Structure 1
Amino acid sequence: MPTGVAIRDVREQLFDAADRILLRDGPSALTSRALTAEAGCAKGVLHRHFDDFDDFLAQYVLDRVDQMAPQAAALRELAGTATVGGNLTDALSAVFQSVAVAIVALLTFRDELRARLRQKWPAGIPVLTEAAIMIGSYLRAEQDVGRIARGADPDTLAAVLIGSAHLLYADRTGASPETDAVRRLVDGILAPVTAGGRP
């Protein structure tokens, strides 16, 4: 690897390599050796930038959570446009067709990683919790424009949407669910709290 490469570039190179391994081979395949081979760098590079492999994994997960912020902002901007169901179908599909499902499996697979993340993320599973916050924020914005009933609880609805969508996408080895299946799930959950029962 050339000298003088910025630390952020090295981190992103390693994080992107972790994405590829998780999506292609699953959490059991994500080892330090596989990571550096996938990233095309020497093993020493990993240890120069991270305390150990679990430190790398913790920083990787938190980085992927941080990357959801622009998606959350864009979703909030959609309040009052198109349909609530369509907006949420697209948002849920984007979350679960990303590396999010594989990260949830990784967190389940590695006890030490969960313990490290608890220092900065005291409750919940980081990727799914952040996705639920994003969905809840959007639903509150839709409440403000009158497309979600005032008596609805956006945070509870968001948790139900995230949990239900995760069940659709949980089989990493199978085909992703069709958009229509995600839309039916969204519409079924939101029907009681939308005008006329139609999101």
Structure 2
Amino acid sequence: ERVRRLDAEAADLRAAAGRGTVAGNLTGALIRLFDPVAVSIVGLVIFRDELRARLRQDRPGAGVPVLAEAAAMIGGYLGEERAMGRIAADADVDALALSLVGAGHLLFADRDGDPWGPEAVEKVVRAVIADVVQRRLL
């Protein structure tokens, strides 16, 4: 169910391309993506081989299910922004997406600690995308 909900989130995120800021759109997507339930699910998927195998029956591909779909969602959005000229034309959107999902997972993985606020998440997002946002202006 969680993986299927990513499809709707991906459509919403792609629809946001060209509106607001790239960093703001990505920040919101990561916060929604890594809610407490999703973080718990990722932990289950990582440590249960049989669960990963079942998830891959519906959605084959490399990587940890849920996180791989999240990277595809963010990569698709960044591709839209690249096509609109809001990030550099040579931006490696797949590598950026992996970086953002990995960083997001690290930020939210500590369920016992204080949750990261939107400002902290946006700070990380801005650091990851800074080069491709700046180079679009060159």
Q: Please say whether Structure 1 and Structure 2 have the same fold, judged by a TM-score greater than 0.5.
A: yes
Deviation, structure 1 residue 179: 0.7
Deviation, structure 1 residue 196: 6.3
Alignment match, 1:93? 31
| Equivalent position SS for 1:99 | helix
Alignment of 1:61-100 (within 5 A): 63-100=1-38
Alignment match, 2:103? 164
Runs of 4+ more than 6 Å apart: none
C-alpha distance after superposition, 1:1-25 (max 9, x if no partner):
xxxxxxxxxxxxxxxxxxxxxxxxx
- Distance in 2 (CA, whole Å) between partners of 1:179 and 1:163 is 17
Equivalent in 131, 134, 138 of residue 192 of structure 1: 131
Report which of the two structures shows the higher radius of gyration computed on alpha carbons.
1
- Distance in 2 (CA, whole Å) between partners of 1:196 and 1:124 is 30
1:135 aligns with 2:79: no
- Distance in 1 (CA, whole Å) between partners of 2:126 and 2:31 is 14
> Residues 88 and 135 of structure 2 are in contact (CA less than 8 Å); yes or no, is this contact kept in structure 1?
no
| Equivalent position SS for 2:63 | coil
* Unmatched segments (≥5 aa) in structure 2: none
- Distance in 2 (CA, whole Å) between partners of 1:178 and 1:197 is 28
> Residues 128 and 162 of structure 1 are in contact (CA less than 8 Å); yes or no, is this contact kept in structure 2?
yes
> Residues 104 and 121 of structure 2 are in contact (CA less than 8 Å); yes or no, is this contact kept in structure 1?
yes
* Unmatched segments (≥5 aa) in structure 1: 1-62
> Residues 86 and 136 of structure 2 are in contact (CA less than 8 Å); yes or no, is this contact kept in structure 1?
no
What is the Cα-based RMSD across aligned positions, in Å? 1.8
Q: Residue type of the partner of 1:194?
A: V
Instruction: Report how many aligned residue pairs link the two structures.
Output: 136
Scaled by the length of structure 2, the TM-score of the pair is 0.90
Q: Residue type of the partner of 1:185?
A: V
Judged with a 3 Å threshold, the aligned counterparts in structure 2 of structure 1 residues 83 and 113 are, in CA distance, closer, same or farther, namely same
Deviation, structure 1 residue 117: 3.1
Alignment match, 2:85? 146
Judged with a 3 Å threshold, the aligned counterparts in structure 2 of structure 1 residues 126 and 140 are, in CA distance, closer, same or farther, namely same
C-alpha distance after superposition, 1:29-62 (max 9, x if no partner):
xxxxxxxxxxxxxxxxxxxxxxxxxxxxxxxxxx
Q: Residue type of the partner of 1:157?
A: L
- Distance in 1 (CA, whole Å) between partners of 2:33 and 2:53 is 24
| Equivalent position SS for 1:140 | helix
Judged with a 3 Å threshold, the aligned counterparts in structure 2 of structure 1 residues 112 and 196 are, in CA distance, closer, same or farther, namely closer
